[in-house]
Amino acid sequence: MSDKMHIKLTVNGEGREFLAEPRELLIYALREHLNITGPHVGCDTSHCGACTVTLNGKSVKSCTMFVGQANGADITTVEGLGTPDALHVLQESFREHHGLQCGFCTPGMITRAAKLLEENPTPTEEDVRFGMAGNICRCTGYQNIVKSILAAADEMNGSEQGQTVEAAE
């Protein structure tokens, strides 16, 4: 067992501090020390993207990074994208277009898609398929995920309110 390290992170806008072994993967640190269980573990070998978070402005597979490496980082997870009263456009769009089934890939998908749309607000279908290729879904066959993301892009471009819409209904 190695010594514990004092870790400071900003997660979803909130400062968090805790002790962890530096070798712990960021995904486990988020899930087990901070109880942020939106990001999931689908492989822990950087293939599936279920653990995707935004770290210092980039999409990162949080199973690919030690928590020691992430020290000081600013992290956004799916929990930080919207609130129950003001969902992120993508959260609403995935529901609207049936972009999820078991939901296990969904937090990573939405987090990655949010970044993708920031990088490229007017993507083509091809851009979306390429930009999402690091995130695996076993349930949906992607067609409705792609549809959800393209619809969200349209909505965000046409909408005055920027990134959030009032929760539907």
Question: What is the binding site for other proteins (CB under 8 A)?
Answer: 1, 21, 23-24, 28, 31-32, 35-45, 47-48, 50, 77-79, 82, 84, 87, 90-92, 94-96, 98, 100-107, 110, 128-130, 132-146
By CB under 6 A, name the one of 5, 22, 33, 44 that touches ligand FES.
Answer: 44
Contact residues for 128 (Cβ-Cβ < 8 A; gap 6+)? 113, 116, 146, 149, 150
Q: How far is the CB of 28 from ligand FES (least distance, A)?
A: 10
d(CA 48, CA 131): 14
Binding site partner of 51, from other proteins, ligand FES, none, Cβ cut-off 5-8 A by kind: ligand FES
Q: How far is the CB of 73 from other proteins (least distance, A)?
A: 19
Residue tagged 């349209």 (tokens): 154
d(CA 70, CA 132): 23
d(CA 135, CA 50): 7
Binding site partner of 117, from other proteins, ligand FES, none, Cβ cut-off 5-8 A by kind: none
* 58-61: strand order across its sheet: 14-20, 5-11, 74-76, 52-55, 58-61
Q: How far is the CB of 94 from ligand FES (least distance, A)?
A: 10
Binding site partner of 124, from other proteins, ligand FES, none, Cβ cut-off 5-8 A by kind: none
Selection from 29, 13, 115, 12 nearest residue 71 by Cα = 29
**Binders of ligand FES among 88-127, rule CB under 6 A?**
100-106
Of 114 and 164, the one with the shorter C-beta distance to ligand FES is 114
Of 22 and 134, the one with the shorter C-beta distance to ligand FES is 134
In a 3-state reduction of DSSP, which class is residue 1? coil
d(CA 88, CA 86): 7
Which x/- pattern, by CB under 6 A, does the window 129-148 give for ligand FES?
A: --------xxxx--------
